[in-house]
Structure 1
């Protein structure tokens, strides 16, 4: 892939190495680090007692053996659930064995930050705030407070930051930009709207985060985003032909469930 080697494309593990291990678990993120991912992507939600946990859905029904909204459950409630055995059920009548239960229990953002800090190499974090939420601005407030404890909330410049905050909510990104101006922000997009068609992003957003469908259907849009001065981080890129397309268009980051395969395709395996 000669196009891919013309510039460095960051490979971001979407919910960890989530094709191989249950999403948003310690097992998935440890696998992503082992695979050589440049960055780890996670979604965060706030529990009823104020802890940030890595869970994508509003409810835990799909990815655990429990039921209920994350925002209505306390951390202890979530810690009692199994977030691992759902993975692979569609392929086998038996529940898969992921070994140590701590590898597939609910993952707090604090524990993920500790994992990255102990990794021994630079690994960036792409943290997505989920909206709408009953907690309004408390998610962003708690997030920045936690990042501050790890020395990550006030990088000297955006280029030096090892953390970025992503959201489909322009309001969420505006809150982050106002409170932590040097933390990079990514505006996630499912569609190209009249407001963003010319490459402009909402106030507070610095990086464009289009879905792969946008890239497939409107490849010229990537050039407009670049001309407007924005980096482009594309989600969720799993198929080889999509990796090739992103490389050809010069995107800066690929968010994927398959970090090992994408790294290999980019000549870094």
Structure 2
């Protein structure tokens, strides 16, 4: 099997975050250089309405600052360093990340965008996301296969909002419960894929076949161990999110 041409395809989790600071341009550029078929990011809304790539509610863990993302303006966030002392990096906006993906000429890649909930801005996050995708001309793909963006969330309501407003955009309902992913939730919200953790997949490998029988793909996170990469390949997982895209691709190429 060739990891570059057949599933499972490699998604760089917050970029090549195993070796570069997560959600930085450097992490995403390295992931693309290593041949990642997809880039994963988490988005949050700033006080003044900008979408930024930050996983946590606060900036405390990933920057040299402190405070809630939702209470800070974009200008305030840009004053912080999300990189290292040797290689400083400002906060990355979703707009900047989309631009990187669309301008990268070596190979086309998909952007897997996770909206975080619960948040104070609620549905406004999805509304702003759709507006941004529309601005770049990628909100209404010809088909799910040709889409450059995939929207994901642990919140079923968020997935439903996307499916209702942009039915051609592929969506992933994330979760750690096999019952939740394999039951009626994914059907109710119209998710095109389910997203179990690798721990859930180990415990319930039948999830992949059940999803396929319902016409859904499987996105598994966060897969860094070689044995887990091989398990995903054996089970027929469509996309695997990893902190080490280059290393994971090498494992798949050897399978």
Q: Same fold (TM over 0.5)?
A: yes
SS at match of 1:245: helix
Unaligned runs of 5+ in 1: 86-94
Seen in structure 2, the aligned counterparts of structure 1 residues 56 and 173 have a Cα distance that, compared at 3 Å, is: same
Q: Structure 1: how far apart are the matches of 2:46 and 2:181?
A: 33
Contact 2:2 2:253 in 1 (8 A): no
| Native 8 Å contact 2:3 2:9 kept in 1 | no
Moved over 6 A (4+): 3-6
Tell whether 2:110 aligns with 1:111: no
- For residue 267 of structure 1, give the secondary structure of its aligned residue in structure 2: helix
Change (3 A) 1:78 1:160: same
- Contact 1:199/1:224 (<8 A) preserved: no
Counterpart contact for 2:173–2:193, Cα < 8 Å: yes
Cα deviation for residue 266 of structure 1 reads 1.0
Q: In the alignment, what sits opposite 2:38?
A: 39
Q: Indicate conservation of the 8 Å contact 2:40/2:113, yes or no.
A: yes
Describe the shift of the 1:55–1:49 C-alpha distance in structure 2 as closer, same or farther (beyond 3 A).
same
Mapped partners of 1:199, 1:241: distance in 2? 30
The 8 Å contact of residues 3 and 247 in structure 1, kept in 2 or not, is answered as: no
The structural deviation recorded for 1:200 is: 6.1
Relative to structure 1, is the Cα distance of residues 197 and 180 closer, same or farther in structure 2, using a 3 angstrom cutoff?
closer
- The aligned counterpart of 1:50 is 49
CA spacing shift, 1:6–1:250, aligned 2, 3 Å:
farther
SS in 2 for 1:44: strand
What is the Cα deviation at residue 205 of structure 1? Answer: 1.2
Q: Tell me, in whole angstroms, the C-alpha distance in 1 between the residues paired with 2:125 and 2:190.
A: 17
Question: 1:1-269 alignment to 2 at 5 Å?
Answer: 7-85=6-84, 95=85, 97-98=86-87, 101=88, 104-120=89-105, 121-193=107-179, 195-198=180-183, 201=186, 202-267=188-253
* CA deviations over 1:59-118 (Å, ceiling 9, x no partner): 110001111110000001100001113xxxxxxxxx5x12xx3xx210000000111121
Q: Is the 8 A contact 2:177 2:200 kept in 1?
A: yes
TM-score (norm 2): 0.94
Counterparts in 2 of 1:223 and 1:206: CA distance versus 1, 3 Å: same
Distance between the aligned counterparts of 2:195 and 2:217, measured in 1?
9
Is the contact between residue 207 and residue 231 of structure 1 (CA under 8 Å) also seen in structure 2?
yes
TM-score, normalised to structure 1's length? 0.89
Larger radius of gyration: 1
Count of aligned positions? 252
Between 1:256-265 and 1:155-164, the stretch displaced more is 155-164
Please give the alpha-carbon distance, in whole angstroms, between the structure 2 residues aligned to 1:44 and 1:15.
11
- Cα distance change of structure 1 residues 34 and 5 upon mapping to structure 2, 3 Å threshold: closer
Which residue does 1:91 correspond to in 2? none
Q: CA deviation at 1:204?
A: 2.8
